[in-house]
Amino acid sequence: MNKQSEIRSQVGKPYHRREDMRFLTGNGKYIDDIKVANCWHAAFIRSPHAHAKILSVNTSSALQINGVIGIYTGKDLAELTTSLRIAPPIDGLKPIEMTTLPIDKVLFQGDLVACVIAKNRYIAEDAIDLVEVEYSALNPVTNIMHAQQQDAPLIIESMGTNLLSHQFKEKGDVSKSAKQAYKIIETSFSQHRQTHLPMETRGCIAIWDEGNQHLNFYVGTQAPHPYRTQLANRMRLMESQVTIHSSDIGGAFGQKIVLYREELTVAALAKLLNHPIRWREDRLENLVGSSQSREDICKTIVSVDSQGKILGLDFEILEDFGAYSFYPGNYLARVVAMILTGPYKVDNYRYDVKVFLTNKVGNAPMRAPMAITSWVMEGTIDAIARELGLDPVDVRKLNMVTQDDMPYLMPTGEVLCDVTPLETLNQALQIVKYEDFADRKKESLSRGFYRGIGICSVIESTTYGSEFYKAAGIPGSGHEAVWIRIEPTGVVNASVGLGPSGQGYETAFSQVIAEGLGIHPNQIRILMGNSDIAPYGMGSRGARGGTAGGGAFFLCAQQAHQKLMRIASHILNIPLDNLRMVDGYVNYLEGDRYIPTDVDLRKLSQVAYFEPTRLPEGELPGLEFHLTYDPPPMTYSNSTHICELEIDPDTGSIKIERYVVAEDCGTVLNPLIVEGQQHGAIAMGISGVLFEEIIYDSTGQNITGTLADYMIATAGDIPKIEIIHMNTPNKKTPLGIKGMAEGGVMGAIGAVMNAANSALSSLNIQVNQQPLTPMYIRSLIRDVASKNNGL
Amino acid sequence: MNEKKIHLVINQQGYDLELEPRKLLSDVIRDDCFLTGTHVGCEHGVCGACTILVDGKLLRSCLVYGVQMDGKHIETIESIGTHTKLSRFQQAMHEEHGLQCGYCTAGIVMTIEGLLRENPKPTEMEIQDALTGNLCRCTGYQNILKAIQRVLLADQEKS
Amino acid sequence: MKPAPFQYHQPTNTQELLALLDLYRSNAKIISGGQSLAPMMNMRMAHIEELIDINQLSDLSFINQSQNQVKIGSMTRHEQVASSEQIDKHCPLLSYAAGTIGHYVIRQRGTIGGSLCHADPVAQMPLIALTLDANFHIKSIHEERQIRASDFFLGAMTTCLQENEFLQAISYPCFSNETAWAFELFNRRHGDYAIVSVALCLDYDNNQVIRNIRIGLNGVSDFAQDYSSACSSFLNQTFTEKWLDELTHHLLANFSPFDDERISSKYRLELAKTLIKKAFFRANQNYLKSRN
C-alpha cells in the first residue's frame, strides 16, 4: 500500500509565481507584442444608432486613401463564413441566428457595419471617417420594461417577441406555504449594467498559410479548443485546419471565451486576401462594442413563520441580455435561480427566469455571472429580520444548513456537501466583533455618519461536471484534459486545455504535478493556449481551473508516479508498495521512514526511453501520460463576508470602514495565489456596487463610453481586505480542491448592499438598487426628509 | 510626406526615426523601437498602463506624440530590472504577489519607481495620489500597496 | 483611437511661436501638457490642422514673486505650482488647489496655462483664477495685454484669446497674514474632477472681523464663477454659525446648476451648501490657529 501522507510537500506552499518574471521585466507576450512582418490592420465601422436599418454603405472616398486595402460589409462576410445559430434544446429558449456582420440592420449603438483593412491602424481610422453609411433609424428598446410591452419594437422581427428565454420551475408548493405563513415579505433587487473591462482589450492576429491551407490564429482566449471548434466551423474549415495560439492574456473575466464577430471577420479576410491581418480593439470599442453583463431585476416573495423560519420562497429574475446572443440566453440568469437558496433550507421554492433582448451590446458571463445571487438571498434574510424585528444573524442561523443536514438536497436538485456556511459565519462575526457594533454605530453617529454592517453568506458554484450540464439541459461537457510528459533528462512538460489570464496556473499546476510525482515544481513546465499542443479541454471559466485542471493534473501525475515506481521496483528489486518518489529520488520504506536511493527521475527516464528492454514485463517504453477528468456535477466553495461602512448623509458618499471575509475554499494549491484571487474578486464586487455603470440613454446611446465616464475602483477606493482562511477539503475531488475565484464578487455585492441598508435603516430607508452612487443615496435621504417635513 | 526626423534615446540606446507627427509615443516605443513592455490600455490617459519616464519625469506615453520627444531620454520598463536582477520594488512585487495578469504592471512599476526617485519617503496620501492613477482589474491593489510598504520599510531599517 | 493627420511645429522661442500663430490663426492649436488636448485628439473629437508644441519654450516656465504678486509662466507644470515653496507662502490657495489636480503623473505634465486656456468647467485652475481675480498676460505678434480673469473666460471651453494670441503668464495677488483660505471639493474617487468645489479666502482685521470674502464655485453653473460680490452684505461681521447659515442661504440663491443624466441640480445645490460650510469652518479654524 502506498503511504500517501496528509502532509503535502508542494500543494499549499506559498511559492512566488514564475509568471512574474516576464511581466515585471516587460517581457510578456500579449497579442500586440507578437511581431508579424508586413501585417495589415483591421478596424471596424460602428453604428451611431441604437436600432436602424442599413440602407447603403458608400466606400468610394475611403478607398481612395493611400494604404487602404479594402472595405468589407456583412454581405461580403456572408459569402466567406456561416452565420451563427444558437439553439440548444432547452425548454423556453428561443433559437437565435446572427450573421457574421449585420446585413440588414444594426441592433445597438456601436454595432458592426463594415470592416476596413489598411496598412496600419491610423490609416484604417482615416478610412472610417470617409465611409458614408446611410441608415434608416428605428425606435430602440432601451430597458426591460419597454422590451416587455406588447407594442415594443422587436429586436428580431422573426422572433415575434423580445422575450428570448423563459423558464420556470416549482419544487414543493409555494402557494400552500404562503397560506400558512405568519408573514409574507416582498423585496426587490435591481443590479445595473456593467462590463468586464480587462486592462487588455480584445484583439487577434490571423495568418493564413496558403501552402498548407492552414489558419494560424492568435487570440487571447480562456477556452482555446471550443474556440477553435467554433472558428473552423464558421469558416467551413476542418477543425484540423485551424490552430489557436493564445499566449499571455491581460485579463478576461469572461469577456474572452467565445468567438467574436470581429475576430471571425479578421480570420475570414486574412484567408480571402491571403495576407496576415491583425486587429486591436481600442478602449472606446471595448466599452461600447465588446460585451456587458449583470443587468438583472429580481424579486423575492418569502413566506416565514413567526420565528423567521422560511416556509416558501418565490423568485423572479428579469435579465437585460442586450441585442445579441453570444451565449445561450438562459445560461447566465438560470444559474442564479438554481443556486439562489444557497446555504439555507428551503422546501418550497419556485423560480421564474425571463431574459429579454434590448438594443444594447450583447451579454457575456462576467466574473461571477451569478453575482446577484448572494445579495438577493441575503437581502431577503435581512428583510425577514427587519419585518419581524429579529437579529439578522439569528434569522440566518435558524435557516442555515448545518453539518448534520449535509449532504443537503437543494430544491433545484443541487446537492450541498462539504461546505461550512455556519462555521464561516461564526468566524467572521467573531473577527469583526459583531456584538460591539452598536457602540461603533453610536460613535459614528456622534461624528455625523450613519454606520451599517452587512453580512453576506456565499455558496459559490465553482466547477460544473458533465452531469450538471445534462441535468440542466445545457449542451456541453464539464471534463478537463491534461497530458504529462517526463522527458529523458528528467524534466517535465505538461499541458492542460485551459486558457490562463492571470490566475497563476503555471505556478499552481506545477505544484500539483510536483505533489503527485514527488519532485520539485521547478522541474516542471506548463504549456497552455496552443490548441495543437494542449489536449482538448473545456477552458477556463467559472472557477473550474483549480478543480478541473488541478484535479486532472493530480490524477495524471499519480498515474505517472505509479509507472515510475513499477520501473523502479523492477530495477531495484524492491516491492512496489514500499516505494515512493520524494524530492526527485526513489525512496524505499524502512519501518515508518522513507530512505532515499540514488535512483532519481532522470535515471528512470533514461531507462524508459533508451533502455526499454530493462523495463518490467508488459511495460511500454516512454513516459507520456494523458488523462481526462470529469468533476462531480457541482463543487461548492463557501464564504461569509462582513462589511462595515459609514454613510455621509450630507453628500451620500460611502466609505468602507472594515471588510472581513471568512472563507472555505477547500484545499488551497497556493495560498498567495488564492488570496490574490479573493482580493481581485472582492475588489470587482465593491467596484461594481459603488462605481461602475453602463448607461444607455433613452435614445439608446451609450453615454459611458470612455474611462472618464465608466468608473472602476482605484487604489484609494478598496479598503484593506481581511481574510480568514478555514479550509475543509472536498471529499470527492482530487486533493480536496474546491476552487474559488468568483465568490468574492458575490459576497462583496451582498455585504456592501446589506451594510448600506443597515446604515440607512435608522432613517427608515431601504436601498434595493445599484449602484450606490452618492447621488442615489442622497436622493433617498432627501425624499425621506421632505416627507418628514410634510412637503 | 509629412514625416519628421527625430532622434531619441530609450534605455540608453539611440534611435533615429522618421515619424508621422500624429504617431503616439506609445506606438513609437512599441512598433518602431520594438520595446513591447510598455502597454496600451485606453489611449486617453486614464488607465496608466503606458506610463514611462522622460528626462526623469513620469509621463503617459499615449498622450504625447513621438515627434515631441526629439532629443529626450526615455526610460521604459525594460530598463528597470532583468530576470537576474530585479529592482527593489519589482522584487517586492514578486514577493508580495502584486501582479496577476501582468498587463498594468509595467505602468505601476514605472509610476512607483518614478515616485520614489523624486520622493523616497512618500506619505500614505502621496502613495495613494500616485497609485490611483493606475487601474488594475485583477489584484484589488492590496498586494501592490504591501509591496510599496515593504520597500519603504526596508529603506527605514537600512537608515 | 488614433488622431487624424496634422502638421507639427515646434517653435524654440516666443518669437517663432507668435509668428506661427499669426500665420495659421484659426487653424493653429497650441499643445502644452496635452493631458486634456491629446485625449480629444486621439478620440478625433478635436480636429487640428497645425499643432504647435510649446514644450521647448523653457522661458515660459517660471515662478516669480515680487511685491504683492506671484507671476507664473504658462508652461509651469501643475506639480511645480503645487510644490512651490514660494506659492505656498504667498498664495497657498493656488498651490493647494493645483495639488488636487488629477494624480501625481498627470501633474508632472499638465500645465497651468494649458488648463486655463482649455477652460474646462470642472477644472481647478479657472476657478482659482476667477476667485483670486488673477491677471492674465497675453501676447500676440503685435501686442501685449493684461486682462482680468473675469474677462478672460467667456464660458465653458471658451476664452477671449484671439486667433493669434497666446497666454504668456498669470499673476496672482499675494495673500496677507490676515488672509485665511480653504479649498473644498467633492468627487467620486481621488483625482477625479470635482462635482462641486469651493475656493475661499477670508480677510480678517485685528478684531476678527471679516473685511473681505473671495469665494468661487465650480459645478453650480455652466462654468466656474466668482460669487464674491454676492457676499458684500455679509462683510464687516464676525464669524458665527448663524452668520454662516444666512450667508450660505443667500449664496445658494445665486447658483444655477443644471440637471444631467447622473447628477441632479438639487444634488449640486446640496453639495454646494455642505462644501461652503466646510470651507468657511476650515478657513476660520486655520485663522484662529494661526493667531495662537
Does residue C101 sit in the same domain as residue C36?
A: no
Segment A641-658 shows an average pLDDT of 98
**Phi and psi dihedrals of A356, rounded to 5?**
-115, 150
Q: Does domain B88-158 have CATH number 3.40.140.10?
A: no
B57: which chain C residues are within 8 Å (Cβ-Cβ)? Answer: 108-109
Task: Please indicate, yes or no, if residue C2 is contained in any of the structural domains.
Answer: no
Q: Nearest CA to C110 among C202, C6, C37?
A: C37
Task: Evaluate if residue C158 carries a pLDDT over 70.
Answer: yes
Domain boundary among C158, C173, C188: C173
| Residue C18, domain extent | 7-53
Question: Which residues, other chains included, contact A94 with Cβ-Cβ below 8 Å and sequence gap of 6+?
Answer: A159, A161, A163, A164, A165, A329
Closest CA to A565 of A590, A598, A588, A596: A588
Same fold, B4-79 and B88-158: no
Strands (E), A648-695: 654-664
Q: Which residue of B has its CA nearest to C110?
A: B59
pLDDT greater at residue C220 or residue A413: C220
**Taking CB atoms and an 8 Å cutoff, what residues of chain C touch A697?**
261
Q: How far off is chain B from C226, nearest CA to CA, in Å?
A: 28
- CA-only gyration radius of chain C, Å: 20
The CA distances from residue A192 to A24, A691, A695, in Å, are 35, 11, 9
Type of residue numbered C168: Q
User: Which residues in chain C are contacts of B55 at CB distance < 8 A?
Assistant: none
B23 to chain A, any CB pair closer than 8 A? The answer is yes
Does residue B108 belong to the interface with chain A, where contact is any CB pair within 8 Å? Answer: no
Residues in C touching B132 (Cβ below 8 Å): 103, 189-191
pLDDT band at A6; cut points 50, 70, 90 = low
| ipTM surpassing 0.90 | yes
Q: Which residue of chain A comes nearest to C196, CA vs CA?
A: A651
Contacts of C190 in chain A (CB under 8 A): 714, 716-717
Domain boundaries, chain B: 4-79, 88-158
* pLDDT given at position C162: 96
CB contacts of A773 in chain C (<8 Å) are 188, 262
- A775 in contact with C, Cβ within 8 Å: yes
pLDDT at A641 over 80: yes
Task: Please state the domain count of chain C.
Answer: 3
Residues C66 and C49 occupy one common structural domain: no
Domain holding C105: CATH number?
Answer: 3.30.465.10
b/e per residue, C129-144, with b = 16+ CB within 10 A?
Answer: bbbbebbbbbbbeeee
Average pLDDT (A723-752) is 92
Domain end point (choices C147, C173, C199): C173
> Which residues on B lie below 8 Å from C51 (Cβ)?
21, 65
Asked if B107 has any chain C CB less than 8 Å from its own CB, the reply is no
Owner of C-alpha cell 492674465: C136
Query: Does residue A724 have a pLDDT over 50?
Result: yes
CB neighbour class for A79 (10 Å; exposed up to 12, middle 13-18, buried from 19): exposed
C270 CB near a chain A CB, below 8 Å?
yes
Nearest CA in chain B to C43: B44
Residue in the block written with cell 458554484: A461
> Does pLDDT of A124 surpass 70?
yes
Task: Using a CB–CB cutoff of 8 Å, tell me whether B132 touches chain A.
Answer: yes
Pair (C134, C184) in one structural domain = no
Q: B79 — contact with chain C (CB < 8 Å)?
A: no
- Please tell me the distance from the alpha carbon of residue A599 to that of residue A636, in angstroms, as a whole number: 41
DSSP A392-423: HHHHHHHHB--GGG-SEE-TTS-EE-S--HHH
Q: How far apart, in whole angstroms, are the C-alpha atoms of residue A191 and residue A384?
A: 21
Query: What percent of chain B has a predicted confidence (pLDDT) above 90?
Result: 96
First to last CA, chain A: 81
Strand pairing report for A183-191 and A296-304? antiparallel
Residues C158 and C233 in one domain: no
Shared-domain flag, residues C141 and C184: no
CATH of the domain at C34: 3.30.43.10
d(CA B131, CA B151): 15
For residue C204, give the CATH number of its domain. 3.30.390.50
Order of strands, sheet of C50-53, starting from the edge strand that comes earlier in the sequence: C7-9, C50-53, C28-31
Identify whether residues C190 and C167 lie together within a single domain.
no
Confidence of residue A790 (pLDDT cuts 50, 70, 90): low
Which of A17, A24, A26 is opposite residue B76, by nearest beta carbon?
A26
Instruction: Mark yes or no for CB contact C10/B58 under 8 Å.
Output: no
| pLDDT reported for residue A470 | 80
Residues C45 and C16 in one domain: yes
Mean pLDDT on A758-762: 95
User: Is C261 in contact with A778 (Cβ distance < 8 A)?
Assistant: no
Contact B77 A25 (CB under 8 A): yes
Neighbours of chain B (3+ CB pairs under 8 A): A, C
Would you say A366 and A294 are in contact if contact means Cβ atoms under 8 Å apart? Answer: yes
Q: How far is C249 from chain B (nearest CA, A)?
A: 34
What is the model's pTM?
A: 0.97
On chain C, the residues whose CB falls within 8 A of the CB of B115 are 104
Q: State chain A's mean pLDDT as an integer.
A: 95
Chain-chain contact of A682 with B140 (C-beta, under 8 angstroms): yes
Interval C196-219 mean pLDDT: 96
- Average pLDDT of the segment spanning C204-232: 96
Closest partner residue to A718 (CB to CB) among B78, B86, B141 is: B141
Q: Does A489 reach chain C within 8 Å, measured CB to CB?
A: no
Closest Cβ opposite residue A703 in set C191, C261, C271: C261
Residue B27 pLDDT: 98
Percent of chain C's residues with pLDDT above 70: 100
Q: Indicate yes or no: CB of C2 within 8 angstroms of CB of A711.
A: no
Mutate to test the interface with B, among C105, C188, C193 (most CBs of B within 10 A): C105
B31 to chain C: which residues are within 8 Å by CB?
none
- Chain A residues whose beta carbon lies within 8 Å of the beta carbon of residue B139: 676, 679-680, 683
Please check whether residue C101 is in contact with residue C33, taking contact to mean a CB–CB distance below 8 angstroms. Answer: no
Which of A126, A284, A695 shows the shortest C-beta gap to C261? A695
- Å between C1 CA and nearest CA of chain A: 6
Interface test with A, best of B60, B101, B127 (most A CBs within 10 A): B101
User: Which of C116, C151, C173 marks a domain boundary?
Assistant: C173
Cβ separation A16–B102 shorter than 8 A: no
Instruction: Report pLDDT for A5.
Output: 47
pLDDT(A2) > 50: no
C100-110: pLDDT as tens digits: 999 999 999 99
Q: Is the pLDDT of residue A421 over 50?
A: yes
Kindly state the cell numbers that stand for A366: 462576467
Indicate the pLDDT class of residue A476, thresholds 50, 70 and 90.
Answer: confident
Nearest to C191 among B44, B60, B133 (CB): B133
Assess C267–A contact: CB distance below 8 Å, yes or no: yes
- The pLDDT assigned to B1 comes to 61
User: Which of B18, B64, B111, B136 to substitute to test the interface with C, most C CBs within 10 Å?
Assistant: B64
**Lowest mean pLDDT: which of A468-472, B20-24, B150-154?**
A468-472
- Average the pLDDT over C262-278 and give the result: 97
Question: Do the chains contact at B44 and C1, CB–CB below 8 Å?
Answer: yes
Residues from chain B that touch C42, judged by Cβ atoms under 8 A, are 24, 43-44, 62-63
| B-contacting residues in A 481-540 (Cβ below 8 Å) | 501-504
Contact residues, chain C, for A651 at CB < 8 Å: 186, 270-271, 274
Residues C98 and C121 in one domain: yes
Q: Give the mean pLDDT of chain C.
A: 97
Q: Verify that C34 and C112 share a domain, yes or no.
A: no
pLDDT greater than 70 at residue A1: no
Statement to judge: residues C109 and C188 lie in one domain:
no
Q: How far apart are CA A704 and CA B135, in angstroms?
A: 17
Taking only the tens place, the pLDDT of each residue in A66-109 is 999 999 999 999 999 999 998 887 888 888 899 999 999 999 99
Same domain, C206 and C282: yes
* Identity of the residue in A122, A651, A695 whose CB atom sits nearest the CB atom of C186: A651
Q: Which amino acid type is present at position A201? A: T
Q: Do B134 and A715 touch (CB under 8 A)?
A: yes
pLDDT at C98 over 80: yes
- Answer whether residue C146 is part of any domain: yes
Q: Do A650 and C1 touch (CB under 8 A)?
A: no
Specify the CATH superfamily of domain B4-79. Beta-grasp domain (3.10.20.30)
| B133/chain C closest Cα distance in angstroms | 6
